[in-house]
Structure 1
Amino acid sequence: MNQLDQQVARRLTRFYVLALTVIAILSISGLLFIRRMLSDHDDDSRVVNVAGRQRMLSQRLTKLAVLQTTGLTTTDTASFTALLTTWSQSQNQLRNGVLRMEKEYAVRKSRQLDTMFSQLEPVFQSMYQSLVRISDTRARPEEKKAALQTVLRAEPQFLEQMNAIVFRFDQESFERVRLLEQIEWVLTVATLLTLLIEGLLIFRPVVTHTKDVIRKLTESDEALRKANENLAVANTELENTNRQLVITQRELLWASEEKYRLQMVEETVRSAALLEGQEEERRRFARELHDGIGQMLTGLKLRAERLKVIPFPEPKHRQQFDELCDLIYDVIQTTRQTSHNLMPSVLSDFGLGAALQFLAEQTARASGIDVAFEGSTGEKRLSPAVEIGLYRIAQEALNNAVKHAEARKIRISWQNEDAKITLSVEDDGKGFQPKIGLKERQIPVIKGLENMRTRARLLNGEFTILSKPKKGTKVIVHVPDTNHA
């Protein structure tokens, strides 16, 4: 029964807290809304004061204009220019909807007020331009007198319309206060209705439900004890079943791990065979380009050069022949470049360091990007598989940096120390987020990264990409040196 009391108490507490929370939300919402309305009303009071001050300033400016034009003296020490500036700024701020004083006050206007300000604007501009002319020391007396007549004619109309604007501001502010009172009454009624609804729909059903629960729990106490005895027997059987299930799960897990290892070995063999086939096809295609098409193009160039000594009947024929020779030379250079990209001879002749340095220089000339190489070109030779694998990784990383990173500087470095080969390609390009970057990049880039990762895995190495947006990208490969003694 102790647990039953606690359950009933917890349930009643939850409903009670829920009811208090709803009431608190209504009360706080009402307070916040009323405070906001009071703050807006403070802005309205300041706006009414400033609008009323505009009438006083216009009368004072008119008086000073009369005194200044007629040359009479006055005890008013206010600056005519300062008053005119204040009057003009206040009028423009009232019209534009923001008063900038010790802080910004919002000028809330209805369409009627906007219309009244639009009607007042020509009168205001007429008075303002005339007052500016009166304050101008370079203006002639006749001009000042004419301006004064304009001011005297416009002032009554300005005062009349400004009075209407002030009264309209005051009326709209009063209407907002009336609205605030109505909203306050609505919130009060809503709070009282909430209390009534909670009493009828929450507390009363909770009491009834609690009685039913206590009765049902008392009746089911004996049945629960019998069920517990049966459950103890079932638990014993379940423990035996669980032990068998654990043994079966371990066997299944071992079989799954073995299957995964076999799949990984099969994937590695397939990838190695695919990459080896690609490299062999590149070697064959490079030889065919160099020994076949390259030789034929070279022969074509030699034959064309022999024809240079033959005179042509027209100069344009000579020009076309020269352009043909240049085109043959460009085709030869492109063929050589393609053959070198497929299988660089410098890699097989001088090793990885020299090949990387040549790759950096070649890329710098072709792209105009500052590509630097750091590392020794006279290191001992590595195994052919390691050299071609690392070269392809560097080639792919450099290609990605040139095409996609918008880099200004790229650095290729490699070193062979303590039986460990380290290759890195770093750029100062736009970078990407490694976790989501592969989804955002294009498919060729994804395949390029996967090819680099696969090549590093086939060399028993580690492949790492470090990148951040606008911080550049760095590709790092660590491969063990199998030739290290």
Structure 2
Amino acid sequence: ERERIRILEEKQARELLERDRQIQAGRILRETLIRNVLIGAAFVALIIGFLIYRRLKDHRRTSEMKAEIAEARASALESEKRQHEFESRKRFTRQLIDSQEQERKRIAADLHDGLGQDLLVIKNRLTLARREHEKGKDPTGEMQEILLAVNSSLQNIRSISRNLRPSQLDRIGLTSSVESMLNTLQDSCSFALRYSVDDIDRLFSKEREIDVYRIIQEGLNNVIKHAQADTAVVEVARLEAEVKITVSDDGQGFSSPVSAKDNRQQAVGFGLQGMNERVQILGGILSIDSSPGEGTKVTVLLPVKHRPETTTH
């Protein structure tokens, strides 16, 4: 009986061991399967991530290439535009020079045909009057003719003076006239000239536009004649209620106030005095910042009395 019980206990023990072994094997199989699934999922996720990365990288590269192409096209268009503007400015400058030459010829003709003729008449009448006087005759008639010729000469001088206004001011406006003058100087002066000009057309009366033009012109003439500069900068800025004109250079400068003992400074003083007179006519303010060896900066503030008409497009 004991033997039979022992055999049954051993059989039960073997069955328990076998069941434990099967359970252990099943657990190992499940863990292996889970591990393999996780490894496979990670591998798939890695592949998907790599593909997404490649897609994003290709998309970014394509976008960069498109941006570079667009930038190159824009640069080419800008270069073409600048070239076109340069050619237009050259043609405009040539036309302006031709116009100025025609204006000089017209003035020369006025001087020759008008004033020159009057002076010749005066000379001849004076000669006749002297002869009449030497003969003891009354030269009153000749003197009357001389007075008439003098009056005619004065009228011719006034007419020529009125016509000395730069004709381009009426043809192309103040802004373009100033830009043309600066562009011409930029190509011909011995120093580097930079400038910026805002639209100041119709801000001043026709009679005062010539003063604005001459103020800028005289400011640059001082730089050309006296500054010995390497660089000059001209800025014409349209502000809310005034126009600001700045002419600056890095030249030799001068002492303020200008000394009458120095011929160069005296010449500068005459130029600045002419500028200041025009500025005062316009009701503006002129200020000068200069010292020897430190360059010069001339600033002009002109009140705007004539606002331009607003045009709706």
Q: Which has the higher contact order (CA 8 A, sep 6+)?
A: 2
Give TM-score scaled by structure 2 length. 0.44
Q: Is the helix fraction higher in 1 or 2?
A: 1
Give TM-score scaled by structure 1 length. 0.29
